[in-house]
Structures are given as C-alpha cells and as structure tokens.
Structure 1
Amino acid sequence: MAKKKIPMRKDIVTGEMFPKKELVRVVKNKENEVSLDPTGKKQGRGAYIRLDVPVAKQAQTDKVFDKTFGVKIDPSFYEELIAYVDHQVARMELFGDGK
C-alpha cells in the first residue's frame, strides 16, 4: 500500500513548513473580515499559524495578520487566537491527536 502524502503548509510567523494538521488557518473574506477557520474550508484568503502558544503570542506582538492581510485587525482577534491555540494544544496533549 502506498504511503499517503501529508499536506504541508508554511507557518507565517516562523516561515517553517509543517503538516497541515499541526496548524490553524486564519482567513480573510471579501468583506475584509478576519476569522479563525478550524475546518480549513471557509471562503477567502488563508494563512496558517502553528498550534503553539508562544508562536501565537509572537503573531500578536508583531501584528502578523495585519501585515499579511493588509487590514487593521482588532486586538480581541489575537486574544481569541491565543485562547484557541492554547485549547487545541491542551486537547492534543490530552487525547494525543489533533481532533
């Protein structure tokens, strides 16, 4: 049986490539609204960030998504991102998978 190819994506904070399951997608839609996309299927331009709290905090400090999407993003979005990443990391540690 052939090995299944693992999709890789680039973390926009560190610039490193990671398996898609280890990242969370952030998407900007046509109305310039930026939101988390846990399913990876929302319409719009997407960017990925690794499921790592220090990386999410660095994204907040550097305003990475403001620069990437070219729009002013509310600071509460970064707080939501950090909380989501923290939750997902705890979940992976507890259950041993990304689901």
Structure 2
Amino acid sequence: MRQCMGCGEKKEKKDLIRIIRTPDEEIVLDVTGKKNGRGAYLCDSISCLSKARKKKAIDRALNMTIPEDVYQQLEKEMMNHAD
C-alpha cells in the first residue's frame, strides 16, 4: 500500500502513478513503477497533482524543490497517460 501525495488515500501501488527523482536529479513520471530512483506516489488525476503541488508534498518526498516547468510537464504527461 502507498499513499497518494495529493489526496492522502492509501491504495495499491499498481493503482498509483510514481514520480521519481533519478540519480541524475531529473524528475520523471514512472508509469511502470520499476525505474530506479526516489519515488512519490499520486492518483492518476490532475486534481491530486494540483493538491500535492500546493502542499509541496512532492518536493518534500523527493527532497528537492520541483521547478514550475517540471510540474507543467508532469501535468501534460498525466493527461496523455489518461488517453
């Protein structure tokens, strides 16, 4: 079980999207859940991403400040993933 950084609900790992900080300090969306790096979990919804962004929950989970353009990129990737 993992907790969504946005809504706080606990769900199965496979039901959440993982956002990771790679060893190269990159922030990427990990839809497979198997990439190497420090991870934070979100429900597959833009509203949870927005809530986590507002609370700076992802920043804390990944131990770094997430730039604005990275949030926009994550939002686009989540929209494409939903299709």
Equivalent in the alignment of 1:11: 4
Per the normalisation by structure 2, the TM-score is 0.80
In the alignment, residue 36 of structure 1 is paired with which amino acid?
Answer: L
Percent sequence identity over aligned pairs: 31
Report 1:33-48 matches (<5 A): 33-48=26-41
RMSD over aligned Cα atoms = 1.8
Unaligned runs of 5+ in 1: 1-7, 92-99
Higher relative contact order at CA 8 Å, sep ≥6: structure 1 or structure 2? 2
Q: Which runs of 4+ in 1 moved over 3 A?
A: none
Per the normalisation by structure 1, the TM-score is 0.69
**Quick one: distance in 2 between partners of 1:19 and 1:84?**
21
SS at match of 1:87: helix
Unaligned runs of 5+ in 2: none
Aligned length: 83
Which entry has the higher C-alpha Rg, 1 or 2? 1
Is 1:49 aligned to 2:42, yes or no?
A: yes
